[in-house]
Amino acid sequence: MKKIMFALVGLMLAFGASAAQFTDGKQYVTLQKPVAGEPQVMEFFSFFCPHCYQFERVYHVSDAVRKNLPADTKVTKYHVDFLGGDFGPIVTHAWAVAMALGVEDKVTAPIFDGIQKTQTVTDAASLKETFIKAAGISSEDYDAAWNSFAVKALVAQQQKAASDVNLQGVPAIFVNGKYMVNNGGLDTSSMENFVADYANVVKFLAAKQ
């Protein structure tokens, strides 16, 4: 019985030490104006952002964050307009199509690669073609979604969410409408440590009131 008690105490102390190492102003920042009604975990990114490419295609931060959270935690990714010039808003609209059709996981890699590696995604037509091939949908379905009220509402939702948190750059993750992960305050001694630190900070903040 004593061994069990000591083990439990050890686990509690380990959790306490883990939680204590995440401090406001270092690994995360508390927003001056909390935003109500947002998803529990909000990730902002751009297909034009090299750091976002690293996060998604090299470090797999998004996957690590999702796997480290309780299954019922709502995680939402929003695309931003302020990179990519005139093409930026078009890609944001296409991302809203992906959200509406539930094919985000299918189109993320090919769009990232098409924009940043092969330069085969350069306009609305090539974006649509890549989207159709990756998601396995018809041209008609893509167009119908593109012109739908639901997708237009998702475009506005992405823009409003970025404005509400006063987004300054990407990649960025916000938790519970109150906290932003401070990318520069995480352990960068290795890729593995950085990814683990990121996932643990998000988990810590998701549980924080």
pLDDT digits (tens, 9 = 90+) for 46-69: 999 999 999 999 999 999 999 999
Q: Identify the pLDDT of residue 82.
A: 94
- Whether 97 is covered by a domain: the verdict is yes
Q: Within a domain: residue 82?
A: yes
Q: Which domain holds residue 66?
A: 44-207
Where residue 147 sits, what CATH number does that domain have? 3.40.30.10
Residue 1: per-residue pLDDT: 44
Residue 16 domain-assigned (yes or no):
no
Q: Provide CB contacts within 8 A for 57, sequence distance 6+.
A: 109, 112, 113
pLDDT attached to residue 152: 98
Is pLDDT larger for residue 6 or for residue 70?
Answer: 70
pTM (2 d.p.): 0.88
Return the higher-pLDDT residue of 103 and 5: 103
Instruction: Reduce the DSSP state of residue 49 to 3 states and report it.
Output: coil
Residue 8: its pLDDT value, please?
37
Q: Indicate the burial class of 89 (C-beta count within 10 angstroms; 0-12, 13-18, 19 or more).
A: middle
Q: Does residue 37 belong to any structural domain of this protein?
A: no
* Overall number of domains in the chain: 1
| Within a domain: 95 | yes
- Does residue 159 lie within any of the structural domains? yes
For the chain, give the percent of residues with pLDDT over 90: 87
Residue 5 included in any domain: no
